[in-house]
Amino acid sequence: MTLFTKELTFIMDKQKQADKRERFKRLATKRTNSVLKRLKVLGNCANRSAYEYAEEDINKIFSEIERKVKEVKSKFHFPKIKEFKL
């Protein structure tokens, strides 16, 4: 492998990393804003003049949301272990 080929490979790898970072930023921003928007819409259900609900209902909703947030957050810290392959 020539010096030129090594440098070109290095530059291409750097570009690929930058592309992955940009794709992550673009998608994560869009998806996070979507989740936040949906939570705001869920908050509209708090209007007691339009809806009737019990404390138990609220606890069920937010327990499930919190459980799912923990599950998704753990994927960022502890990626799924890939199966062994030959």
* Domain range summary for the chain, segments of one domain joined by +: 3-77
For the chain, the first-to-last Cα distance in angstroms comes to: 28
- 10-residue block means of pLDDT along the chain (86 residues)? 73 82 95 98 97 98 98 87 77
**Cα separation of 54 and 64, whole Å?**
16
Confirm whether pTM is higher than 0.95. no
**Residue 11, amino acid:** I
pLDDT the model gives residue 48: 97
Rounded CA separation 63/4 (Å) = 57
Task: State how far the Cα of 45 lies from the Cα of 39, in Å rounded to an integer.
Answer: 10
